Amino acid sequence: MVDPARALPGRDVPAFAVPSTHAVLGTPLRGPWPEGTAVLHLALGCFWGAEKEMWQLPGVVTTAAGYQGGYTPNPTYEEVCSGLTGHTETVLVAYDPEVLPHAELLRRFWTLHDPTQGFRQGNDVGTQYRSAVFTTTPEQAEAALATRDLYAPELQRAGYGDITTEIRPADEAGPFWYAEDYHQQYLHKVPNGYCPVHSTGVACPLPA
């Protein structure tokens, strides 16, 4: 990780415009959303493929690609890819927890990538590809830790190493900075675009 003192300074205002509406779901990208909507921020490698997986889940209200967990305000994609912002590519998931329980969303998160790889996913290498969960409620934090602790021994039995996923409140991780227009719902706009998820194929149990 870049030292905060060496991180890029960023800017006070965004360097680009962000669309107001989800290109697939037709819902507001920034809200407001229906009462009871929960928001969880998930980083699992390249956000193009991760976002597509999330917007297809029942109960999801909207998704967005962005940057979180670093130091640089209002970063650009190029800045994040330099490794000098500290951010990781993150997907905002706004969802109805009555339809999509926290633990089920997190189970999908764990099984869609390899959470043991540190600063990489597959051939994508760098701190911007690290695995992370940035929670907004105590219930999400509890579900994140519970599913992680259930999944860790399953991965080890399958020959994988320790989980390296960063789990902390979004308030500590810092703002979710929306990514550029072309990154939002990228694989809907570019159906043949390259951005696979890196599932291990190992199932994740749900907490009792």
Q: For residue 137, what are its two tokens?
A: 């409620």
Q: Give the separation between CA 164 and CA 149, rounded to whole angstroms.
A: 12
Computed from CA positions of residues 12, 16, 17, 19, in that sequence, does the dihedral angle turn out positive or negative? negative
What pLDDT is attached to residue 208?
85
Residues 170 and 140 sit within 8 Å (Cβ to Cβ): no
Residues 32 and 58 sit within 8 Å (Cβ to Cβ): no
Residues 190 and 71 sit within 8 Å (Cβ to Cβ): no
Question: How large is the C-alpha radius of gyration of the chain?
Answer: 16
Catalytic residue numbers, as ranges:
46
Burial status of residue 3 (CB atoms within 10 A of its CB: 0-12, 13-18, 19 or more): exposed
Report the Cα 125 to chain-centroid distance in Å.
Answer: 16
Residue 97 main-chain phi, psi, to 5 deg = -70, -10
Give 183's DSSP letter. Answer: G
pLDDT digits (tens, 9 = 90+) for 117-175: 999 999 999 999 999 999 999 999 999 999 999 999 999 999 999 999 999 999 999 99
Q: Tens of pLDDT along the chain (208 residues)?
A: 999 999 999 999 999 999 999 999 999 999 999 999 999 999 999 999 999 999 999 999 999 999 999 999 999 999 999 999 999 999 999 999 999 999 999 999 999 999 999 999 999 999 999 999 999 999 999 999 999 999 999 999 999 999 999 999 999 999 999 999 999 999 999 999 988 789 999 999 999 8
